[in-house]
Chains A and B, each alone.
Chain A
Amino acid sequence: QKEVEQNSGPLSVPEGAIASLNCTYSDRGSQSFFWYRQYSGKSPELIMSIYSNGDKEDGRFTAQLNKASQYVSLLIRDSQPSDSATYLCAVASSANTNAGKSTFGDGTTLTVKP
């Protein structure tokens, strides 16, 4: 089992819809959770970070964390074609040898169709 798992997709949604991206992790000691967006040929860009159970909203993006169930999700409301990218889930535990070293999922490719 991978430490951080994401559905590889591709996930396709129509413009204006809600895109839901999911991520599960295996290390119960994980404390920091991140979502990155990566456009083709570019490096990852941080979108959201979340550390506590519940929802965290930033514009059209909402991150949801449930530590008991060991999952973190990202909702994108009013999806736009410019949201088409690969979304990477990253999880970090301060118990790691290298505190702050994040483990990345393989990413979910999202396509928003006009």
Chain B
Amino acid sequence: GAVVSQHPSRVICKSGTSVKIECRSLDFQATTMFWYRQFPKQSLMLMATSNEGSKATYEQGVEKDKFLINHASLTLSTLTVTSAHPEDSSFYICSAELGTARTDTQYFGPGTRLTVL
């Protein structure tokens, strides 16, 4: 159980285009999902917390107009990188929260590797 999928796994796009990444919890409902970014050989960086039916909460320094997050259902959250540029090239990983507030376990998707040319 506790499987999280992401699509696409890899995307290459031209500078200036927008890219949408989907994160799905396959066998559980997730009220809360998280979006991370990770550059090579660096640690996970939390970008935003996505709550079903409400606006996402962005971490300091993350542009909400550039990284659009929609959590339309209990099993799906999307991250759209708008007007992508080469510096946005990174490994984007989502996670979904399973359990009660006592357990708070996050399960990660397999990640999406974005390359902006």
B and A form one assembly: yes
Closest approach, in angstroms, between the C-beta of A111 and any C-beta of chain B?
14
A20 lies within 8 A of chain B by Cβ: no
Q: Is the CB of B102 within 8 A of A101?
A: no
**Count of inter-chain pairs, beta carbons less than 8 A:** 61
Within 8 A of A (CB), among B77-101: 91, 93, 97, 99, 101
Task: Classify the interface of chain B: helix, strand, loop or mixed.
Answer: strand
Interface size on B, residues (CB 8 A): 23
Closest approach, in angstroms, between the C-beta of A27 and any C-beta of chain B?
13
Stretch at the interface among A38-46, A54-62, A67-75, A77-85: A38-46
B15 lies within 8 A of chain A by Cβ: no
Q: Which listed residue (A32, A44, A45, A106) contacts B103, Cβ 8 A? A: A32
Contacts of A99 in B (CB 8 A): 101, 104
| Size range of the chain A interface in the assembly | 20 to 34
Contacts of A100 in B (CB 8 A): 32, 97, 99, 101, 104, 106
Task: Classify the interface of chain A: helix, strand, loop or mixed.
Answer: loop
Within 8 A of B (CB), among A79-106: 88, 90, 92, 94, 97-102, 104-106
List, sorted by A's number, 6 A–B pairs whose CB atoms are closer than 8 Å.
A34-B105, A42-B110, A42-B111, A46-B106, A98-B32, A98-B49
Taking beta carbons and an 8 Å cutoff, which residues of A are in contact with B?
31-32, 34, 36, 41-46, 49, 51, 88, 90, 92, 94, 97-102, 104-107
